[in-house]
Homo-oligomer: A and B are copies of this chain.
């Protein structure tokens, strides 16, 4: 398949959210223009994004809301369940563990891991906290697909290497550091410091 840009995938994800809203309100069709207005983009962009995957609309009418949302879920891989593990049972890990958006979209958090003996054996928002020492064993046994990394910056790269060796192919990183991973592993980084600095730049450099 032709390479799909990251920005395109993000927009698909946004479209799906609006479609679910529409579905909820009982509407059956939607035009690229309405979708665009919601997502802060243009109708041509919406149609182009969708055209990478097929043609789902009806000329003169628009898109069927249930059909398009179904297709988007397929495209994004949301028609299957993904098992998620959280590495690092700190505050951020806890905030994520209770975040309802995960389960709503087919991501189930199976366990959290930490190296602090006081945390191991307890639960984090109902999710068991296990010893990080057993991570390789658990990955082999339970085959989670996605790992969320909420460890201190200096521990992030070694932990990523360890997860990759154990067979993880998708990582959501919250440590404020640039990570290296082999090409078959996808890493997304959420860096709050970077976002804040973007705001600082905008505040400083506006005329």
> Which A residues fall within an 8 A CB radius of B?
1, 4, 6, 9-10, 12-14, 16-17, 38-40, 75-78, 80, 82, 84, 91-92, 94-96, 98-99, 101-102, 105, 107, 145-146, 169-172, 176-178, 180, 184, 186, 188, 190, 192-207
Contact = CB atoms under 8 A, between A and B. Distances in A.
A170 B40 CA distance: 18
Contacts of A194: 10, 13-14
Contacts of A13: 193-194, 197-198
A99 B203 contact: no
Contact of A178 (B14, B94, B188, B207): B14
A9 B197 contact: yes
Q: List the number of copies, as a whole number.
A: 2
Given A99-B192, A169-B203, A186-B203, 11 more contacts: A13-B193, A13-B194, A76-B197, A78-B200, A91-B95, A95-B95, A102-B193, A107-B196, A170-B199, A170-B203, A188-B199
A171 B196 CA distance: 9
Contacts of A80: 204
The 10 closest A-B pairs by CB, nearest first: A77-B204, A186-B202, A77-B200, A91-B95, A170-B199, A95-B95, A13-B197, A188-B195, A101-B193, A13-B194
B180 A40 contact: yes
Given A95-B95, A178-B38, A9 B201 contact: yes
Q: Which of A1, A75, A98, A203 has the most CB of B within 10 A?
A: A203
A105 to B, nearest CB: 6
